[in-house]
């Protein structure tokens, strides 16, 4: 017996459903190796997983959604940045409640340098003014590492004046040491290009020196914040002078 296909049984090639089923898949995202991108764009020991150079802001945002050799570098700072923004308001409220005079220092927007001066020389306004006067000057040739380590200058100075036990309480000295050690370890990784220099191509996405450096910088910032909060608490609970001088 012969079977016949009736026209109603044939696939409707004009229907939207048919075309949806036959729609070609999206072009997969592609990554390149270091021979396919400009020299300025490469790391000597990262062989693969490079994003193409597109000069497109949209492409940069889209690259947040897939893995490449900058993913860890991006998220190791992006996530802490988002957390910092979310906690900015409650942190400001906490400082306003616990350390009302300290909140005026935010106007300087000078970060760790101010905090080291303020608590290191809590009752020594002449030394505060000495170090704050240095901040307004421009030093174009100062390297990144030297700039970071300059925050330790007031603490080193204070260490020559106050006993260790006192400075540890009033300035959180131990946390400065820990912070400095963490940053220096990160710098060693960054300069030596370890471990990717040891096994090129094996750390293209995970575990490269730049990524380790980023993570250690974030950890050092957390240590710094904890040390500053500890020092603020001690100074407010153990005042050495009735009205500490500040420049506001």
22 inside domain: no
Distance CA 172, CA 187 (A): 23
Query: Is 3 assigned to a binding site?
Result: no
Whether the full predicted model's pTM is greater than 0.85, yes or no, is no
- Average pLDDT over every residue of 17-25: 47
96 inside domain: yes
38 inside domain: no
Dihedral angle computed from the Cα positions of residues 223, 226, 231 and 236, in that order, rounded to the nearest 10 degrees: 170
Query: Is 214 assigned to a binding site?
Result: yes
User: How many domains does one find in the chain?
Assistant: 1
58 inside domain: no
Is the pLDDT confidence value at 173 over 60? yes
**Residues contacting 73, CB < 8 A, separation 6+:** 210, 211, 214
pLDDT band at 7 (very low <50, low <70, confident <90, very high): very low
Half-sphere exposure of 110 (CA within 13 A, CB side): 20
60 inside domain: no
What phi-psi label fits residue 52: left (phi over 0), alpha (psi between -120 and 50 degrees) or beta?
beta
Q: Which domain range does residue 126 map to?
A: 69-237
Backbone angles phi, psi at 32, to 5 degrees: -120, 165
13 inside domain: no
- Average pLDDT over every residue of 36-59: 92
Dihedral angle computed from the Cα positions of residues 111, 117, 119 and 120, in that order, rounded to the nearest 10 degrees: 140
39 inside domain: no
Distance CA 101, CA 79 (A): 30
88 inside domain: yes
51 or 124, greater pLDDT: 51
- Average pLDDT over every residue of 37-59: 92
CA angle 188, 194, 196 (to 5 degrees): 150
CA angle 185, 147, 177 (to 5 degrees): 45
């Amino acid at each position: 017996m012969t079977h016949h296909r009736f026209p109603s049984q044939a696939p409707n090639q004009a229907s939207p459903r048919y075309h949806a089923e036959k729609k070609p898949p999206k072009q997969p995202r592609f990554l390149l190796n270091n021979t396919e991108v400009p020299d300025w764009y490469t790391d000597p020991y990262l062989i693969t997983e490079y994003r193409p150079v597109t000069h497109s802001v949209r492409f940069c945002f889209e690259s947040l959604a897939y893995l490449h050799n900058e993913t860890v570098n991006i998220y190791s700072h992006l996530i802490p940045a988002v957390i910092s923004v979310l906690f900015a308001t409650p942190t400001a409220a906490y400082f306003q409640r616990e350390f009302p005079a300290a909140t005026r220092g935010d106007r300087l927007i000078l970060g760790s340098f101010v905090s080291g001066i303020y608590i290191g020389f809590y009752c020594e306004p002449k030394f505060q003014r000495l170090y704050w006067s240095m901040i307004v000057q421009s030093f174009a040739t100062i390297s990144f590492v030297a700039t970071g380590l300059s925050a330790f200058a007031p603490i080193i100075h204070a260490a020559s004046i106050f006993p260790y036990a006192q400075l540890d309480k009033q300035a959180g000295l131990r946390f400065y040491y820990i912070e400095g050690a963490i940053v220096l370890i990160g710098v060693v990784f960054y300069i030596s290009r370890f471990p990717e220099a040891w096994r090129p191509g094996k750390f293209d996405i995970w575990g490269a020196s730049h990524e380790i450096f980023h993570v250690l910088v974030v950890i050092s910032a957390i240590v710094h914040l904890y040390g500053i909060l500890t020092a603020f608490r001690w100074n407010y609970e153990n005042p050495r002078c009735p009205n500490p001088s500040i420049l506001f």
